[in-house]
Amino acid sequence: MNNKHIYKTRTRYSEIDGMKIVHNSNYLIYFEEARTDLVRANNYSYEQIEKDGFMFPISEIKLNFKNPIYYDELISVFTYLEYVKNFSLKFLYEIYKENNELACKGYTIHACLDKNSYKILEINDKLKSALKKYIIK
Amino acid sequence: MNNKHIYKTRTRYSEIDGMKIVHNSNYLIYFEEARTDLVRANNYSYEQIEKDGFMFPISEIKLNFKNPIYYDELISVFTYLEYVKNFSLKFLYEIYKENNELACKGYTIHACLDKNSYKILEINDKLKSALKKYIIK
Amino acid sequence: MNNKHIYKTRTRYSEIDGMKIVHNSNYLIYFEEARTDLVRANNYSYEQIEKDGFMFPISEIKLNFKNPIYYDELISVFTYLEYVKNFSLKFLYEIYKENNELACKGYTIHACLDKNSYKILEINDKLKSALKKYIIK
Amino acid sequence: MNNKHIYKTRTRYSEIDGMKIVHNSNYLIYFEEARTDLVRANNYSYEQIEKDGFMFPISEIKLNFKNPIYYDELISVFTYLEYVKNFSLKFLYEIYKENNELACKGYTIHACLDKNSYKILEINDKLKSALKKYIIK
């Protein structure tokens, strides 16, 4: 069984489009919130990552949409990882609607770079250990 | 002493601009979330307002910025009302930073319209009573 | 050789994040603008599509990031199609930076639904002929 | 007669909310685009302003909404200034719909700060002369 971090948020009126559903661009924002919440819940933070000299730009994103999300839904974003390699990592996401239906699945792949030189940098042990328990077996 | 509704939210990475502060357009989104949260906390909802045939378009907005808000701050939006008239109402907002400094003050004035005809409509008693305790004396 | 529709837009300050690059969520908005511009340039429009009773929700999105985009860059979005089937279509995108470097590649797959019943609907000839010349050989 | 800078942009699908009108937060983004376009058209730029060591944070915003803006409208933002003082300036905006109706009036007041110390700084002559012809008489 896998550990998945659960992040809950309520959809905002400004996130709804003319079809009265959450606009696709906001899913990427939910993913970002969910993975920063996962990191924060494990005693690390994006701010600290930056202070430690790292950045994690996204190299690839995929989303599969299953069911639309509406205004004012309390959604749950399940976040875990497929792998944490020396120079990259891959987050997996599932978003569930308030009624527990699957809304979306997706992933983001991130490179680990030196914040100043933009050169590839090895992921440090602090982040590796913060993420370890969320890696799928 | 006045009743002010308190809504808390955490600033998102996507809300930060190149100066590493929350971009001004997001304050309007925080205001919107805060007033919908106030309405929801008083057993009414934007969805129900729409079902009841009303809409509340904004006719005027003002914001005064005092201190910048940064990434990942847990901000508090205090929301109350200057008045609820028959055909319009005025929400007042104060946003406080995580360190309790005032970040911003502002207001939004809304007209009450019939959702279908777009004609001016009298605010119903259900909304008036939901909002009553937040009106400044 | 393929026909690719070119849509140009300038990146906005509000689209830049704390790393001073365009935030990933905005790429989906550029894709959307580019495909609506392609449709508009061929005498059809999203508004007309809706009047004709169709909707084209996205079922899948993929993005590969190559080079960051900065503030105030005049970017070019090349848009074309991998296929237009009876019930779905797949748009392909390449975004080029102002200096002509490739910033991003991606695609969106759309289903064709009846706007009212949400049932699968066959793509009409008007849209098929508007898109035909952009399908890769 | 006053010089007003005209900036044209097309409303995006992602800017439309559940009422099928442009969401209020986007007006602030149109204002920002319009004033940067004015500056750019006069041989200065936000990038150069930053290199010159200045920043112009907003201290006050006001918007008055007159008529809703819909999806895919080619809007025109008229921008000019009420004043350019030594340490602050005030931009005025009028947004017109594609059918030339007034959609919105508003203003933004900006302080001039040193980019590094955040202390008040006198607006330089380069910017003063770029803006001069747009100040109302």
Sequence ranges of the domains in chain C: 5-132
SS3 of chain B: CCCCEEEEEECCHHHECCCCCECCHHHHHHHHHHHHHHHHHCCCCHHHHHHCCEECCEEEEEEEECCCCCCCCEEEEEEEEEEECCCEEEEEEEEECCCCCEEEEEEEEEECEECCCCCECCCCHHHHHHHHHHECC
Q: pTM for the full model?
A: 0.92
Tokens matching residue B122? 């009298």
Residue C96 burial class via C-beta count within 10 angstroms: exposed 0-12, middle 13-18, buried 19 and up: buried
Fold of C5-132: Thiol Ester Dehydrase; Chain A (3.10.129)
- Mean pLDDT for D116-134 is 92
| Separation CA C68–CA C74 (nearest Å) | 13
Low-confidence ranges of chain B (pLDDT < 50): none
Of B126, B134, B33, nearest to B92 by C-alpha is B134
Nearest to B58 among D24, D28, D58 (CB): D24
In which band, very low, low, confident or very high, does the pLDDT at C43 lie, cut at 50, 70 and 90? confident
Contacts C62 to A, Cβ<8 Å: 60-63
The residue count for chain B:
137
What are the chain A neighbours of B13 within 8 Å (beta carbons)?
32-33, 36, 46
Output the six-digit token pair for C96.
């080029």
The model's confidence at residue C88, banded by pLDDT at 50, 70 and 90, is very high
Q: How far is CA C69 from CA B136, C96, C114, D29, in A?
A: 47, 9, 37, 19
Closest-CA residue of B relative to A29 is B14
B112: nearest Cα among B81, B84, B131, B88: B88
Contact list, C28 vs chain A (CB under 8 Å): 24-25, 28
DSSP characters for D41-102?
A: HTT--HHHHHHTTEE--EEEEEEEE-S---TT-EEEEEEEEEEE-SSEEEEEEEEE-TTS-E
Write down the pLDDT at residue D13. 92
Cβ atoms within 10 Å of A15's Cβ, excluding its own:
22
C4, C49, C30, C43: which is closest to C108 by C-alpha?
A: C30
pLDDT digits (tens, 9 = 90+) for C100-110: 999 999 999 99
- Chain C residues in contact with A55 (beta carbon < 8 A): 19
Test B65 with D55 for CB contact under 8 angstroms.
no
Query: In Å, how far is B23's CA from the nearest CA of chain C?
Result: 7
Residues C33, C37, C39, C43, CA torsion sign: positive
Chain D residues near residue C7 by CB distance under 8 angstroms = none
Average pLDDT of chain C to the nearest whole number: 94
Q: Which chain D residues are within 8 Å of B28, Cβ to Cβ?
A: 24-25, 28
Touching subunits of A (3+ CB pairs, under 8 Å) are B, C, D
CA-only gyration radius of chain A, Å: 15
The lowest-confidence range among B30-44, C18-32, D35-49 is D35-49
Would you state the pLDDT for residue A46? 80
Which residues does chain A have with pLDDT short of 50? none
According to DSSP, residue D38 is labeled H
Report the alpha-carbon distance of residue A64 to residue A51 in Å, rounded: 34
Would you state the pLDDT for residue D43? 86
* Residue C1 pLDDT greater than 80, yes or no: no
pLDDT digits (tens, 9 = 90+) for C49-87: 889 999 999 999 999 999 999 999 999 999 999 999 999
Q: Select from D49, D66, D25 the least CA-distant residue to D110.
A: D49
With bands split at pLDDT 50, 70 and 90, how would you rate the model's confidence at D1? low
What number does CATH give the domain B5-134? 3.10.129.10
**A41 touches B at CB < 8 Å:** no
Provide the pLDDT for residue A1: 57
Cβ contact B57–D63 (<8 Å): no
Percent of the residues in chain D that have a pLDDT greater than 90, as a whole number: 83
C11: distance to nearest CA of chain D, Å? 9
Residue A125 Cα, gap to closest chain B Cα (Å): 23
Amino acid at A130: A
Residue of chain A whose Cα is closest to the Cα of B9: A9
Report the pLDDT value the prediction gives residue B44, as an integer from 0 to 100.
87
End-to-end Cα, chain C, rounded Å: 8
What single-letter amino acid sits at B72? D
Cβ–Cβ below 8 Å for A14 and D25: yes
User: What's the pLDDT score for residue B37?
Assistant: 94
Do residues B115 and B50 lie in contact, with contact meaning Cβ atoms separated by under 8 Å? yes
Which residues, 6+ apart, have CB-to-CB distance to C123 below 8 Å? Answer: C54, C84, C85, C86, C87, C89, C112
C46 Cβ under 8 Å from any chain D Cβ: yes
